[in-house]
Structure 1
Amino acid sequence: MSERPVRIGLQLQPQHMDYATIRRTAAEAEEAGVDVLFNWDHFYPLYGEPDGLHFECWTMLAAWAESTSRVEIGALVSCNSYRNPELLADMARTVDHISEGRLILGIGSGWFERDYTEYGYDFGTAGGRLDDLATALPRIESRWGKLNPPPTREIPVLIGGGGEKKTLRLVAKHADIWHSFADAETLERKLGILHEHCAAVGRDPAEIEVSVGGKEATRTRMHELGARLFTVGTGGPKPDLGELRDMIAWRDEINA
Structure 2
Amino acid sequence: MKSDQTYFQMNKKANNKAEIYIYGDIVSSKWDDSDVSATDFKKALDDFGDVSEIDVHINSSGGNVFAGHAIYNMLKMHKAKVNIYVDALAASIASVIAMSGDTIFMHKNSLLMIHNSWIMTMGNAKQLRETADLLDKTDKASNTSYLSKAKKLSEEELQQMLEAETWLTADEALEKGFVDEILEANEIAASISKEQYKLFRHVPESIEQDVDKITTIDDAKKNAMVETPKETMSKEEKDAREKIKKSCESLKIIMNF
Q: What TM-score results when the alignment is normalised by the length of structure 1?
A: 0.35
**Which structure has greater strand proportion?**
2
User: With structure 2 as the length reference, what TM-score do the two structures score?
Assistant: 0.35
